[in-house]
């Protein structure tokens, strides 16, 4: 589990004046709820400074801290901290049965060495295994205390029930971990060198994808506004928006320095400072002016590192190795001072001295070779340059071409190189659009399709780093489309006559001042060919991104999740979730669904399935259907404060139920009299396992027991190992 949960728990513990001030703490759906000995000791200012805390308030004798859907992990971290201080009340001691079960589970999932990481939710141990084929499904299912096994979302899930936290605490030491650690995968050797390099590059950009897509779209929008004459280049409005849109790309080494430092286990802020040194304004200006500088007499070949990726990644990788040596030499008492000092002095210097010249040399070689080839056989040159251009951009080798094409334009008022390269943007757009349209993962669609839109305006970074590069085949298909497009442009000597804008708005720059001719028509065709060929190849043979991506060499064995109709467990009037007076439910934080304002005191099973949990306060019931739907029925808002009063549960966790079975009764009138909202949210909590959750009742509709109110639909396949035993 991420150590961030422990850090947040520590901050919360400090804000409530320590474990000794806590009478009782428990979690409910999305909040930690504290009963404190002295509520005057709450430091609300400290709570507000914790980014993960969305809201904190004292109500009905409780301190409520809103943390969202990961509240169980924060709760577990808090309990572990309280155990360490021997200050928690009523913490259950681990039984010998839990310890034995933990030992059996570890053995049957393939042993400690087969486990990459482990977390737990309300009822399940969720393993990430190196090889799921080593896990013995049948044997694990036969263990006393295990309710089942599931393969989903890239996890090997062992269903325990309400006792899951206790078993988890016994399993973690057997894996050699504390409850707040996770085995890292930095040294994982799966795949070839190229695959691992692409995985590394993609992981570096994952935290930036959303912002990168937004910035890319703003750059494209700014180009459109400038072309239409609504926001002219050089105006204050243009300058401000351009700064907002371009800063991420210009200062990419700073952001990548931060994320690379996290990947290579270096101080993240030191990584950012190293990136900042590469784009320091004085150094950038010197590089643009081709100024000659030396470092202790050694010549430094400057280059502009803005918008580059590999130089900073190599620098931080080198820093991680350099630190291993310095920490052995520098006494621990002064490491916080002298290790950063040595890192900055040595690594930044070596980056300028070595990385710059290497990148410049490679760029010049690539540029010279391409121009020689273009002069010899234009079509072949177009095919090669078009095919490799976006890969050259990634590693920063494209810079050598910029002065070449600029010189061509200034000297001859015409440049053929950009005529070849321009179609590569549309090759990437075609591949990204195909990936977005065929994807079943909604989160991926939200990245891929906007990235394709920004690509039409000439911004390809969100496409490359968020869409095509992580799915290598689509990047290759985009390059193939671009290669053929480049060949067509080169064959007809297409080129630019002035500096172009971005994407579709740069097309007029390739029109011959004498008028539209065959070269321009070929240029337009090159864009269409690059786009269409990349789109078709990717749509047919590219990866299909689904929420649970299976591993290679797996065959379809069973579908874990199937379509499921959900009948109303409550009789009354339908209420849309957005109208429920609770931000967790109304915002869909924990899932999609519908609420019902009850006119009856009964709760009945909405489908055939199993009771996952009945909260100790009986105000909420968790169910799982035979088709995989995990459903939460929450009786009222903040009714946890009633501590079970007016609620009478008729079922227990682990019990099988049939649709229509009585699950619980609750006194609606008494709950209202006590001042609580009695609306009942009915939520599908594993929404991501389904393609859609269809709400079949509108606000104000009358609802009876058995009326279908929700439909969970799915068409993705969950793949599990061929050699795993049939359930």
Catalytic residues: 121, 634
What the block records as the tokens of 117 is: 């990481």
DSSP helix/strand/coil, 266: coil
What the block records as the tokens of 488 is: 């067509």
* Closest to 541 measured CA to CA, from 448, 477, 467: 477
Do 695 and 592 contact (CB within 8 A), yes or no? yes
Helices and strands (H, E) in the chain, number of each type: 25, 24
Bridge partner list, 127? 118, 156
What the block records as the tokens of 262 is: 């996290």
Instruction: Check residue 505 and report its DSSP letter.
Output: G
CA distance 697 to 595: 10
Report which secondary-structure segment, H or E, holds 567: strand 564-567
* Closest to 617 measured CA to CA, from 598, 658, 645: 645
**Tokens 């006590």 sit at which residue?**
674
Do 661 and 605 contact (CB within 8 A), yes or no? yes
Q: In what order do the strands lie in the sheet with 572-575?
A: 656-657, 609-614, 620-625, 630-634, 680-684, 592-598, 572-575, 702-703
Give buried/exposed letters for 471-502 (b at 16+ CB in 10 A, else e): bbebbbbbbbbbbbbbbbbbbbbbbbbeebbb
The helix-helix angle for 378-395 and 356-376 (nearest 10°) equals 160
As a whole number of Å, the CA-based R_g of the chain is: 30
Long-range contacts of 103-109 (CB under 8 A, 24+ apart): 103/170, 103/174, 104/143, 105/140, 105/143, 105/146, 105/158, 105/167, 105/171, 106/171, 106/174, 106/175, 108/135, 108/136, 108/139, 108/140, 108/143, 109/134, 109/135, 109/140, 109/156, 109/158
What the block records as the tokens of 279 is: 């784009």
Do 608 and 631 contact (CB within 8 A), yes or no? no
Do 78 and 91 contact (CB within 8 A), yes or no? no
CA distance 657 to 668: 24
For residue 32, count other CB atoms closer than 10 A to its CB.
23
Looking from the CA of 380 toward its CB, the CA atoms found within 13 Å total 9
DSSP helix/strand/coil, 515: coil
CA distance 420 to 115: 49
Compute the C-alpha angle 184/77/55, nearest 5°. 115
What the block records as the tokens of 691 is: 């393609």
CA distance 634 to 622: 9
CA distance 343 to 82: 38
CA distance 504 to 494: 16
For residue 469, count other CB atoms closer than 10 A to its CB.
21
CA distance 263 to 389: 28
For residue 634, count other CB atoms closer than 10 A to its CB.
26
CA distance 214 to 416: 32
Do 322 and 346 contact (CB within 8 A), yes or no? yes
């Amino acid at each position: 589990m991420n150590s961030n949960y422990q850090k947040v728990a520590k901050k919360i513990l400090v804000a409530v004046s320590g474990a000794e001030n806590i009478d009782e703490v428990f979690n409910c759906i999305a909040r930690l709820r504290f009963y404190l000995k002295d509520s005057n000791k709450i430091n609300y200012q400290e709570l507000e400074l914790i980014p993960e805390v969305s809201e904190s308030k004292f109500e009905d004798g409780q301190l409520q801290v809103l943390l969202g859907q990961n509240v169980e992990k924060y709760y577990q971290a808090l309990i572990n901290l309280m155990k360490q201080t021997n200050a928690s009340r009523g913490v259950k001691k681990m039984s010998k049965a839990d310890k034995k079960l933990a030992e059996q589970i570890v053995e049957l999932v393939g042993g400690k060495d087969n486990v990459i990481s482990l977390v737990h939710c309300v009822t399940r141990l969720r393993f990430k295994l190196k090889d799921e084929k080593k896990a013995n499904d049948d044997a694990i299912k036969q263990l006393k205390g295990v309710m089942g096994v599931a393969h989903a979302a890239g996890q090997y899930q062992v269903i325990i029930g309400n006792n899951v936290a206790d078993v988890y605490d016994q399993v973690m030491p057997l894996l050699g971990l504390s409850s707040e650690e996770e085995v890292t995968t930095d040294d994982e050797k799966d795949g070839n060198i190229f695959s691992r390099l692409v995985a590394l590059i993609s992981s570096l950009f994952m935290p930036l994808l959303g912002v990168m897509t937004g910035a890319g779209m703003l750059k494209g929008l700014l180009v459109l506004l400038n072309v239409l004459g609504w926001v002219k280049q050089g105006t204050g409005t243009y300058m401000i928006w351009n700064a907002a849109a371009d800063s991420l790309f210009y200062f990419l080494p700073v952001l990548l320095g931060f994320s690379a430092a996290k990947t290579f286990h270096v101080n993240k802020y030191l990584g950012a400072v190293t990136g900042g040194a590469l784009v320091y304004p004085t150094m950038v200006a010197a590089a643009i002016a081709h100024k000659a500088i030396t470092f202790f007499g050694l010549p430094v070949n400057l280059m502009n590192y803005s918008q580059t990726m590999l130089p900073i990644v190599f620098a931080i990788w080198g820093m991680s190795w350099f630190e291993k040596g310095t920490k052995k030499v520098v006494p621990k008492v002064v490491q916080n001072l002298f290790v950063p000092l040595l890192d900055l002095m040595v690594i930044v210097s070596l980056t300028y001295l070595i990385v710059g010249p290497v990148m410049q040399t490679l760029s010049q070689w690539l540029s010279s070779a391409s121009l020689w080839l273009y002069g010899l056989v234009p079509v072949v040159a177009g095919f090669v340059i078009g095919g490799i251009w976006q890969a050259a951009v990634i590693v920063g080798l494209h810079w050598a071409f910029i002065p070449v094409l600029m010189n061509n334009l200034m000297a001859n008022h015409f440049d053929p190189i950009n005529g070849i390269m321009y179609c590569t943007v549309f090759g990437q757009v075609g591949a990204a659009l195909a990936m977005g349209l065929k994807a079943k993962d909604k989160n991926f669609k939200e990245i891929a399709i906007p990235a394709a839109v920004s690509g039409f305006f000439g911004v390809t970074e969100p496409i490359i780093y968020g869409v095509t590069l992580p799915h290598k085949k689509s990047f290759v298909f985009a390059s193939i489309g671009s290669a053929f497009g480049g060949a067509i442009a080169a064959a007809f000597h297409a080129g630019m006559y002035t500096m172009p804008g971005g994407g579709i708005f740069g097309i007029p720059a390739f029109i011959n001042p004498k008028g539209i001719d065959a070269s321009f028509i070929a240029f337009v065709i090159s864009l269409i060919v690059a786009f269409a060929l990349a789109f078709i190849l990717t749509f047919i043979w590219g990866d299909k991104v689904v929420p649970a991506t299976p591993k290679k060499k797996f065959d379809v064995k069973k579908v874990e999740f199937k379509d499921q109709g959900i009948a109303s467990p409550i009789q009354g009037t339908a209420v849309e979730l957005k109208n429920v007076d609770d931000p967790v439910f109304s915002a869909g934080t924990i899932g999609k669904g519908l609420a019902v304002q009850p006119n009856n005191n009964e709760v009945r099973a909405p489908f055939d399935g199993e009771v996952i949990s009945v909260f100790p306060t009986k105000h909420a019931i968790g169910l799982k259907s035979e088709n995989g739907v995990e459903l939460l029925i929450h009786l009222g808002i903040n009714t946890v404060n009633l501590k079970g009063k007016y609620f009478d549960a008729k079922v227990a966790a682990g019990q099988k139920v049939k649709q229509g079975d009585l699950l619980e009764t609750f006194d609606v009138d008494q709950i209202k009299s006590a001042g609580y909202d009695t609306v009942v949210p009915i939520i599908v909590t594993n929404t991501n396992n389904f393609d859609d959750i269809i709400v079949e009742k509108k606000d104000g509709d009358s609802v009876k027991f058995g009326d279908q109110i929700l439909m969970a639909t799915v068409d993705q396949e969950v793949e599990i190992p061929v050699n795993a035993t049939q359930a």
